[in-house]
Amino acid sequence: MGTMTKTPPSTIALDGPAASGKSTVGKRLADQLGYLFFDTGIMYRAVTWIALSRDMDLKNEAAVTAMAQETQIDIRQPTQNDGRACDILVEDRDITWDIRSGNVEAYVSIVAAYAGVRKALTDQQRRIGLRGGVVMVGRDIGTVVLPEADLKVYMIASAEERARRRHTELTARGEESNYDEILSKMIERDRIDSTRAVAPLRPADDALILDTDNMNESQVYERIMELCK
């Protein structure tokens, strides 16, 4: 018999709560493997940003859903070297950093709880994921978007640790940041994300749970690379 050659998993799903380190490690993993890095939170943030910029009533599920179905969100190679992983465009406007604002953070969980919005975005995510060669990051990748993913990792960290990371990140970008405020908002966002009726935040039955509280970025990366082998 010939020797078995192990190829890395073609579809990798990284899920977990806000600021659990998914994006950082996902990007690094994707670059190393030559895969597409797809951060699905971008899409929920972009829909929220559009709704806010159009002064839409966020409580109007039908209107927000119709908009999510119609709007084209473009994700392209980065054209600026300012720490972004990609350019995010809506109607030719660059909203890469706008979608990271506190205002979007405050409302995104409401938008992400709408079944019609999720259906529209999940369909697009799944189509891209099924091509393979992808590291997809989100809340429901292993459970809903790509249940057949070759490797599923669910990353956790305490709310305090995640708030500390987010605080450091914002401060490094020169933005104003208040740790206590971040912590309470993060706990609230986790609560909405994990208790919503459609695709709540939870690990898939076959996901590997990785507690990153006492790990640095490199250790998390090395651990997932090991799992890929």
Binding mask 201-220 for ligand DC (x = CB under 6 A): --------------------
The rounded distance, in Å, linking the Cα atoms of 229 and 227 is 5
Q: How far is the CB of 200 from ligand DC (least distance, A)?
A: 9
The rounded distance, in Å, linking the Cα atoms of 87 and 77 is 6
> Per CB under 6 A, does 139 bind ligand DC?
yes
Q: Residue from 11, 21, 45, 85 that binds ligand DC (CB under 6 A)? A: 45
Q: Which stretch binds ligand DC (CB under 6 A): 3-11, 61-69, 138-146, 160-168?
A: 138-146
Q: How far is the CB of 118 from ligand DC (least distance, A)?
A: 7
Of 81-110, binders to ligand DC (CB under 6 A) are 108-109
Burial of 89 (0-12, 13-18, 19+ CB in 10 A): middle
CA distances from 216 to 50, 70, 187, 198, 212 (A): 35, 40, 22, 32, 7
> Per CB under 6 A, does 114 bind ligand DC?
no
Nearest to 132 by CA among 154, 148, 121, 119: 148
Residues that bind ligand DC (CB under 6 A): 18, 40-41, 44-45, 108-109, 112, 138-140, 189, 193
